[in-house]
Structure 1
Amino acid sequence: MKISIITVSFNSEKTIKDTIESVLSQTYNNIEYLIIDANSSDATIKIINSFGNKIDYFISESDNGIYDGMNKGIKQASGDVIGILNSDDIYENNYIIEEVVTSFLNNEKDILYGDLVYIDSKSNNLIRYWKSGFYNRKLLRMGWMLPHPTLFVRRDIYMKYGYYSDKLKSAADYEMMIRLLYKHECSAYYLAKVMVKMKTGGYSNKSIFNRIRGNKEDVMAWKLNGYSPSFLLRLYKPLTKVKQFLNRP
């Protein structure tokens, strides 16, 4: 089984090296690694180029946002399964992709996901623990969401059900989960372990304005799929984030 991993970057000179090394150090050897850069103006491109042909595909050009970059990567990817690792994230250990492959082979599911921890970008101290839990259709209706950097999807599922929406700026990953899990009822496997470490400062969490826009986009994500969002959505989704500060692996 071939695994394609996509990293989308923009001015990521402080973190991109760790992200790349996290992928290249995986013990599973049938990995295709693609980096889609949005025309960075700092040292990001220089750092990426320093890895030479260890990167299977690299392009740097202007785009229409992070999800546009993801879509470019998906269209270019040739693996059986596709994962997306952000340019400031790293895998928990060197065996994660081996476990992903084993789980796909043993369970024959459409998608796979796991748990994620947020760490302080300077101290590496644990900030939040995102324990996904098993997929529940009713909870998704109320705002449950799996951590996008832990999501692995069979390539033919993307080909069948489409790419990330260009109508959303910060919730296209949430919309994708609604589309795949709720609308089309794709089968999912929960790998019950921490798969990814994310450094604090994700796009949708950077400011109050972005959080407000994110809440509005959560509602739009349901409407794009032909559903009216649950009245509990605006309450339940923020509460799950509060719980992440209290949980520990």
Structure 2
Amino acid sequence: MNLPDLQSYRSNFINKGVQLPLPIVSGTENGLLHQLPPPPFGKTGWPWDEQVAQTVYDNKINWPKLTIVTPSYNQAGFLEQTIRAVLLQNYPNLEYIIIDGGSTDQSKQIIEKYAPWLSYYQSEKDNGQSHAINQGFSLSSGRYHAWINSDDYYLKGVFHKVLNKFMSTNADFIYGYGNDYNVVSGKTTTTRVLPFIDYFIKIPSLVQPSTFWSAAIHEPVWEELHCSLDFELWLRLVKGHSRALIKEPLSVANVHDQAKTHSPKMKAQWEADHQKIWAADAHGTVYEWKKIIFFNRIRIKLYKVFGYYS
């Protein structure tokens, strides 16, 4: 497993003239809703004509810096929703970075429209999602990290809930439930994540856009992976560290034909990632993984028996 050196990425940005640390998102005491570009015609509700009230953030608290990275490529139909759902949290100490891989749709124009409220953005050819994420975090100066893909978005008030959880628990890793919204049927389903011990980290159960972690435990993403990059990251990043579960949805993943998780075209790539992750020189063997799956089924049944699922 060859992981990139984030310091080398950081040095490349510095050599290009990027000034570090990046500026935080500039806000106002009344929030950003009326400062941002107006939403597209007919768009209402969160995150179009609603915002988190800035008054929810107690000004007596020194809110820690939160870094959000959005890797972007040809998701113009969803990207503006993603951006607004970050900015309209009105979090008082936010570093927001967008790394676009040279999109050929309207993504660049959307990003540029919101540029005054971004800490940093670029739109140029890269080596894929993993590379974009690593580039973004190489610029980070936040105490806490998360990434949100350009076709997903955060629910209203999530940053307030998550940062309060970090401060009240001193956890290294926060995770929560997630919603899937089917853009064709209009139906929403919720993935409820179970609490887990280290042994069960090898079960792909975490909802990526509903995860946040301390910069102190951050690891680079394995760039050879194209689909299971988040799952593999958890195998290295979460084990042995304190964590806390928020038992409510924190994010929405838009389910559409081009989404990696739901596209039949990506089946071969998922299988290729699986073989890399479960190679002997990475995270074990397929046999070991199947054994863990068996014990996980027993664990889920026990949770159901004792009423974890309502």
Q: CA deviation at 1:197?
A: 0.6
The CA distance in 1 between the partners of 2:271 and 2:171, in whole Å, is 30
Structural RMSD (CA): 2.4
**Pairing 1:50–2:122 present:** no
Is 1:220 the counterpart of 2:276 in the alignment?
yes
Q: Distance in 2 between matches of 1:56 and 1:8?
A: 14
Displacement of 1:139 after TM fit?
2.8
Give the match's secondary structure for 1:15. helix
Could you tell me how far 1:122 is from its partner in structure 2?
Answer: 4.5
Match of 2:213, as an amino acid? V
Gapped regions of structure 1 (runs ≥ 5): 241-247
Alpha carbons of structure 1 residues 164 and 237: separation in structure 2 relative to 1, 3 Å: farther
Unaligned residue ranges in structure 2 (runs of 5+): 1-63, 301-308
Q: Counterpart of 1:186? A: 241
Which residue in the other structure is 1:243 paired with? none
Q: Which residue of 2 aligns with 1:20?
A: 83
Q: Which of 107, 110, 125 is matched with 1:62 structurally?
A: 125
What SS does the corresponding residue of 1:205 show, helix, strand or coil?
coil
2:59: which partner in 1?
none
Is 2:230 aligned against 1:173? yes
Match of 1:199 in 2: 254
1:135 Cα deviation after fit: 2.0
Q: Per-residue CA shift, 1:1-32, capped at 9, x if unaligned? A: 00011111111111111111101110322111
The corresponding residue for 1:125 is 187
User: Does structure 1 retain, via aligned residues, the 8 Å contact 2:172–2:243?
Assistant: yes
Give the whole-Å Cα distance in 2 for the aligned partners of 1:76 and 1:173. 19
- Alpha-carbon distance in 2 for matches of 1:105, 1:17: 30
1:231 is aligned with what amino acid?
A: K
Partner SS for 2:77: coil
1:156 has 2:216 as partner: yes
Pick the structure with greater CA Rg: 2
More helix by share: 1
Q: 1:245 maps to which residue? A: none
Match of 2:176 in 1: 114
Given that residues 111 and 151 in structure 1 are in contact (C-alpha distance below 8 angstroms), is that contact kept between their aligned partners in structure 2? yes
Confirm or deny: 8 A CA contact 1:11 1:40 kept in the other structure. yes
- Could you say which structure has the greater relative contact order, defined with CA pairs below 8 angstroms and 6 or more residues apart? 1
Alpha-carbon distance, 1:65 to partner: 1.1
Structure 2 residue 198 is the aligned partner of structure 1 residue 137:
yes
- The size of the alignment, in residue pairs, is 232
SS of match in other structure, 1:135: coil
1:233–1:172 Cα change, 3 Å = farther
CA–CA separation in structure 2 for the residues paired with 1:51 and 1:31 = 15
Counterparts of 2:82 and 2:113, CA distance in 1 = 14
Cα pair 1:133 1:192 within 8 Å, conserved: no
Query: Structure 2: which amino acid aligns with 1:211?
Result: K
Q: 1:235 to 1:129 in 2, by over 3 A?
A: farther
Q: Paired residue for 2:57?
A: none
Q: Distance in 2 between matches of 1:200 and 1:28?
A: 27
TM-score scaled by length of structure 2: 0.69
| Cα distance in 2, alignment partners of residues 8 and 205 from structure 1 | 18
Shift in alpha-carbon separation, 1:212–1:11, aligned structure 2, 3 A: closer
Q: CA 1:181 to 1:26, structure 2 compared with 1: closer, same or farther past 3 Å?
A: same
Secondary structure of the equivalent of 1:83?
A: strand
Aligned partners of 1:117 and 1:129 also within 8 Å = yes
Taking a change above 3 Å as real, the CA distance of residues 123 and 54 of structure 1, as seen in their structure-2 partners, is: farther
Once the two structures are superposed, residues 18-52 of structure 1 have per-residue CA deviations (whole angstroms, 9 ceiling, x without a partner) of 11110111032211111000001111111111113
Partner AA of 1:221 in structure 2: I
Q: Which amino acid aligns with 2:289?
A: S
Deviation at 1:213, TM superposition (A): 3.5
